[in-house]
Amino acid sequence: TLSDRLTSVLQNLRGKGKLTDADIDATAREIRIALLEADVALPVVREFIAHVKERAKGAEVSEALNPAQQVIKIVNEELIGILGGETRRLSLAKNPPTVIMLAGLQGSGKTTLAGKLALFLKKQGHAPLLVACDLQRPNAVTQLQVVGERAGVQTFAPEPGNGVGDPVDVARRGIDEAKHAQHDIVIVDTAGRLGVDEELMKQAADIRDAVQPDEILFVVDAMIGQDAVTTAEAFRDGVGFTGVVLTKLDGDARGGAALSVRQVTGQPILFASNGEKLEDFDTFHPDRMASRILGMGDLLTLIEQAEQAFDQEQAEKAAAKLGTGQLTLEDFLEQMLAVRKMGPIGNLLGMLPGAGQMKDQLAQVDDKHLDRLQAIIRGMTPAERADPKMINGSRRQRIAQGSGVTVREVNDLVNRFFEARKMMQQMAGRFGFGGGSATKR
């Protein structure tokens, strides 16, 4: 599996101090093979590898992670990024009913999805109507009706006994029925073929034109692997779609199809189906899919923990200094950089015991402001950073000029630093984390 492969690849990197170009190239080669084995389509693999290489080369050497962990982290982040970052939700029409059309190959799981989606939406308080526009197979309509009954929603279907009906006509009448009976969502099930064919595409396009869907969901079986790209491209060009649903994730597919479809069509994956029962269904989570593709969920957790532990160590070092009043501007800068790597400045608070009192002050510090503070401190000499008391008027002027800010901003920073130091000293005394006693884990 990809997991085994990456693990063995990355073992070669273990113990080296930093990422060299040769390391990155060798690793990239192996990741490429591994992704192909996970059924990710070749062009997608190429692009992905290019991203990872670029990022790995520009990456700062992490103190918290060894090079192997660092590469995995980058690969994981890139995967999540391509898979869509955040989960996108269904977009609902301003004027109901919202029309959701399902498209995809035969057997991809459209009819089953119609039931799953209906149940999912019903639980959220919607009143969906299923519309049976697959008139291709004899029992396709019955199948949808059964699924609808199980989900406890109504199904609109052509009257039996009239021979083969016109799916476009059924679709149109289904929408009218929804308006009439106050359904706020319509889910249109359509026919599929075993392979992509023109007649099928035309029928789907005709239904699309008749009902003007708010969402067209391309339903794709995760097991089709490499074929996902050609199928997705055919549906994109033939019908167009606004989102993707991956099915049969309960099988042993590693999820390569997800990466391919997402990358090639640029459309988000909204839902994931993982079983035959109506409940086997969830919104799509890019992070979970990334760790499925990598097959290294545990490793990713370890990496997260390693980073957190490192940040905590840094915070504790600073806290120890705080108590003795020895905090320097250098520490201040170091802290700031460490905190920024982790995300919002407010996180620092969680790490300093008893620092709740400074919440208001810290809340005013946004990222742009931090950039300026950083510039100011960088404009100081090491001696000034270590002993801010020596920063007199002329030094302030020089620092301001060097870092492109006003003298007033330098004054602000220095004054605030002294205030903070004093306050923290007081708190340290009160909460007993000053001096050497701050090493509890």
Residues contributing to the site for ligand GDP (CB under 6 A): 104, 106-112, 192, 247-248, 250, 273-276, 280
Residues in contact with 383: Cβ distance below 8 Å, sequence separation at least 6, in sequence order: 390
Nearer to Mg ion, 114 or 348 (CB): 114
Residues in contact with 324: Cβ distance below 8 Å, sequence separation at least 6, in sequence order: 434, 435
335 binds Mg ion (CB under 5 A): no
| Distance separating alpha carbons of residues 294 and 317, to the nearest angstrom | 35
Q: Smallest distance, Å, CB 171 to ligand GDP?
A: 16
Residue 318 CB burial class (10 angstroms; 0-12, 13-18, ≥19) = buried
Query: Interacting stretch for Mg ion, rule CB under 5 A, among 103-111, 169-177, 389-397, 433-441?
Result: 103-111
| Residue 267 interacts with which of Mg ion, ligand GDP, none, CB < 5 to 8 Å by class | none
| Residue 62 interacts with which of Mg ion, ligand GDP, none, CB < 5 to 8 Å by class | none
Query: Interacting stretch for Mg ion, rule CB under 5 A, among 83-91, 111-119, 348-356, 421-429?
Result: 111-119
Q: Smallest distance, Å, CB 112 to ligand GDP?
A: 3
Residues in contact with 101: Cβ distance below 8 Å, sequence separation at least 6, in sequence order: 188, 190, 204, 207, 208, 211, 213, 215, 216, 217
Residue 376 CB burial class (10 angstroms; 0-12, 13-18, ≥19) = buried
| Interactions with Mg ion, residue window 354-373 (CB under 5 A) | none
Nearer to ligand GDP, 135 or 428 (CB): 135
Q: Smallest distance, Å, CB 217 to ligand GDP?
A: 11
106 known member of a binding site = yes
Query: Interacting stretch for Mg ion, rule CB under 5 A, among 26-34, 56-64, 102-110, 331-339?
Result: 102-110
Nearer to ligand GDP, 114 or 427 (CB): 114
Nearer to Mg ion, 111 or 291 (CB): 111
Q: Smallest distance, Å, CB 358 to Mg ion?
A: 60
| Distance separating alpha carbons of residues 81 and 154, to the nearest angstrom | 38
| Residue 106 interacts with which of Mg ion, ligand GDP, none, CB < 5 to 8 Å by class | ligand GDP
User: 65 near 308, Cβ under 8 Å?
Assistant: no
Nearer to ligand GDP, 149 or 304 (CB): 149
Cβ atoms < 10 Å from Cβ of 54: 13
Q: Is the dihedral of CA 393, 394, 395, 401 positive or negative?
A: positive
| Residue 108 interacts with which of ligand GDP, Mg ion, none, CB < 5 to 8 Å by class | ligand GDP
Nearer to ligand GDP, 69 or 247 (CB): 247
Cβ atoms < 10 Å from Cβ of 63: 10
Cβ atoms < 10 Å from Cβ of 325: 13
Residues in contact with 190: Cβ distance below 8 Å, sequence separation at least 6, in sequence order: 101, 102, 103, 110, 133, 134, 167, 203, 204, 207
SS3 content of the chain, % helix, strand, coil (to 5): 60, 10, 30
| Residue 396 interacts with which of Mg ion, ligand GDP, none, CB < 5 to 8 Å by class | none
| Residue 435 interacts with which of Mg ion, ligand GDP, none, CB < 5 to 8 Å by class | none
381 known member of a binding site = no
For Mg ion, the binding residue among 3, 108, 111, 335 (CB under 5 A) is: 111
Q: Is the dihedral of CA 261, 262, 264, 265 positive or negative?
A: positive
Nearer to ligand GDP, 7 or 274 (CB): 274
Residues in contact with 187: Cβ distance below 8 Å, sequence separation at least 6, in sequence order: 100, 102, 114, 117, 118, 128, 129, 130, 131
Residues in contact with 322: Cβ distance below 8 Å, sequence separation at least 6, in sequence order: 352, 421, 424, 425, 428, 433, 434
Q: Smallest distance, Å, CB 128 to Mg ion?
A: 17
250 known member of a binding site = yes
Nearer to ligand GDP, 62 or 108 (CB): 108
**Residue facing Mg ion at closest CB distance:** 111
403 known member of a binding site = no
Point out the annotated binding site for GTP: 104-111, 189-193, 247-250
Point out the annotated binding site: 104-111, 189-193, 247-250
Residue ranges binding Mg ion (CB under 5 A)? 110-111
